[in-house]
Structures are given as C-alpha cells and as structure tokens.
Amino acid sequence: MNYPSPRDPCLSPWFMFAFSSKWAHPFFTIILVSSSPTAQHNLSFHIHFLYISIFFPPSLRSPILFYSSIYLLPPHTYINRNYLPPIRKMELKNMVAMVARSGRQLQRYNKGHRQVVGCIPYRIKSNKGMNVEEALEVLVISSRRKGKGMLFPKGGWESDESIKEAALRESMEEAGVFGTIERILGEWHFKSKTNDSLYEGYMFPLLVKEQLDFWPEKDIRQRVWVSVPKAKEVCQHSWMKEALDLLVKRLESPATNNNDEESI
C-alpha cells in the first residue's frame, strides 16, 4: 500500500471509515456536490463520510449491519484520495437517490388528467426453440395496498424531469432495476379505481441490465420475474396488459424495434 505523504493535499478527521461495499440504505438520499478547488483531493473523504451519515440513521433504533471491509484510522492521520478504496460506478449508483420521491408539488397535469409514467422491465431468458412470448420474462411488483394484485412500476411525471427520466426513476424506486429504456409503447387515459381522478399514462419497455438488492421501496413491495401469461393473470390494470401485448408484438418484429434508446 502506498501511504500518503504529509505534503499531499489531505484531511485530518478524528475518525474515518472507508467502506468497500455495494450497499447503501434505501431511505436516505446521498448527494455529492462540491465547488472547492481541492474537491478532487477530497472526493474519497466526502463519499465515505456520506456512508457514515447513513450508518446510524435517525429513523432506526439499532445500527445497520452490512458486509464491507472497514478501516478505522486514528486521529490526525493524513488521508489523500489514493489512500481510500476506489468507488465503482455501481457503488455510486447505490448511493444516489436512494429515497423515493413523495408529494405532488411538482406533479404534471394535462387538461385535468394527472400524468403518470411507467416501465415494463423485461429480460430474455432464452431464445433457443422458443417464440418471443415464451422467452420473455417481465418484472412485476406488488401494490402498496395489500390484496390489490401486481403491476408494473409507475408513478407521477414531475415538472423537473423528462418523461424518460421519470420512467427510469420509477423503475429504480419501486422495483430496484436499472437498464436501457426503449421507445415508448403508447399513451392511455383511465380513471382511478378508488376515486374519480383521471389519469394520462405512458409506458416504456426497460431492458434490465442491473438489479439492486436494496432500493427505496424494498420494505413495502415485493418483486418477481414472471412469464407473459402470468403477468397478464396477476396484473390489476388493463392498460398495462395492453402495453405488455404491444411489447410482445414489437419484440416479434425486431426491424421496427427500439430505434430510440436511453441508458441509465
């Protein structure tokens, strides 16, 4: 190990934890912003210090335990950016935006219809001797209300984000998946089953590339990969079933598929 020199740009905290982990608690938003001229030298300290800020969250009565390598450095130890383990892209992804948005202050409406956006997370398990519908698996999640069936991730489209950003955010918050968002499947207008609210819904396919172990709504939702027929059986929204049919048809005709993609 190359120990830092006292001449290097450094920090001298009383205690410092350096984590080598892919874990971040889902109820805390971690934001790294710095305009300091020495920010590049303090980056490791800032990131790892933010890990500490979620180690004993105020909403819990006991410490959070998770798998990681922990190094305790004595007071006045010089620390530079080469001393701490590097943070990989996925670790940063687990640290950022790990709390679901709430409230409707930024909610978009169109002619009285609340605009919502969702995704159909999917993967192809195999294509040997199978047609598209047989090879396709989709990820469904449980409703917040017990006994109300399953659905695809969806939520409000807010004014500070694009429609694709909203779809990607909802997929991460509700299902804990990242991937490539593809061309929009369509637009639907429907009424709430619990009140007379009107909605304007948009659905996108999401080709899943990564699946998180921890995500904002892990404690209130279940997620499960199912076949297309099973998804149609358990899904509570007819408009989502229609979107699924459109996805299957699109995948059966790859020449017309997904010429507009965005990766998260």
141-169 per-position pLDDT tens digit = 999 877 678 999 999 999 999 999 999 99
pLDDT at position 38: 38
Beta bridge partners of 205: 120
Structural domains of the chain ordered from first start: 16-95 (no CATH), 109-263 (3.90.79.10)
187-236 per-position pLDDT tens digit = 999 988 777 789 999 999 999 999 999 999 999 999 999 999 999 999 98
User: How big is the CA angle at 51 (ends 46 and 54), to the nearest 5 degrees?
Assistant: 130
Report d(CA 48, CA 246) in Å as an integer: 45
Please tell me whether residue 114 adopts helix, strand or coil conformation.
strand
Buried b (16+ CB within 10 A) or exposed e, 26-60: bbbebeeeeeeeeeebbebbebbeebeebeeeeee
